[in-house]
Structure 1
């Protein structure tokens, strides 16, 4: 293949996360861009002696965000509202950037809310950044 036609893959280190109404700095890690669909085995008495494989419900994995802890409490406040029974559903996007910072791909989730928050692990002999984790459950994700 000629060098001019070469298409290198994008690095997974250039990304940003957008959530309705929440303006936040960068994230260390973002995962959970998964969908799955379990098959349903089905057979009627007049069918051949094999199972039919029907499509079942589509499932989405929670989006998990990790970031270095700062004084910013926007995401914690969102989680706190959910714990108080005041769930605020928000739409959001995970955006893949190229090396120049230009947007290349986008995954949009809808009706998300924070279902889990984890604080940092502390170790008096460690030399790591304190990291927070937030899981966002949602009702669908699409590649835009």
Structure 2
């Protein structure tokens, strides 16, 4: 019998337009939420009907240690200058052997916020940057 242990959340990487961007320290926003449309039927006071509605996807937030490789900043800077280029990407969750076992594909992403590091002279922590992406949806895939 095949045993399937829960996966570790720290073992992931991100690709944007088929390029490995970097090892990120944090990724949040892997969510999808459907807004149900309710309908109140006249004379029926014990419940309301709920129908499928619009699906919302929150922003993806990617945080990583700041390096001199500035691909994320360049993408954000170009969008600020009006050179809009939407990109597709994938977040891979890896198993114990560092091979992808799950993937979340996002489409038509656009950077809408870049945050630089908090700089403190009395701290020895790493400098982190983050980028927030709006996108047009997630598709989940189990890797075999």
TM-score normalized by the length of structure 2: 0.89
Q: Partners of 2:127 and 2:44 in 1: how far apart?
A: 60
How far is the alpha carbon of 1:67 from its aligned partner? 0.6
Q: Tell me, yes or no, if structure 1 residue 93 matches structure 2 residue 112.
A: no
Aligned mates of 1:15, 1:5 — CA distance in 2: 23
Cα deviation, 1:71-94, whole Å, max 9, x if unaligned, reads: 111110000111112221111000
Q: Offset of 1:7 from its aligned partner?
A: 2.5
Structure 1 equivalent of residue 78 of structure 2: 81
Q: Displacement of 1:127 after TM fit?
A: 1.4
Shift of 1:44: 4.8
Match of 1:48 in 2: 44
- The change in CA–CA distance for 1:41 and 1:118 in structure 2 (over 3 A counts) is same
- Kept in 2: contact 1:62–1:138 (CA 8 A): yes
Partners of 1:89 and 1:140 in 2: CA distance:
13
Whether contact under 8 Å (1:98, 1:104) holds in the other structure is yes
Instruction: Look up the match of 1:16.
Output: 13
Contact 1:112 1:137 in 2 (8 A): yes
* Gaps in structure 2 of 5+ consecutive residues: none
Question: Which stretch of structure 1 is more off in the superposition, 84-93 or 47-56?
Answer: 47-56
Uncovered stretches (5+) of structure 1, i.e. residues with no partner: none
Alpha-carbon distance in structure 1 between the residues aligned to 2:96 and 2:3: 16
Can you list the C-alpha shifts for 1:33-59, whole angstroms capped at 9, x where unaligned? 0011122222354x6334221222100
- The worse-fitting range, judged by mean Cα deviation, of 59-68 and 21-30 is 21-30
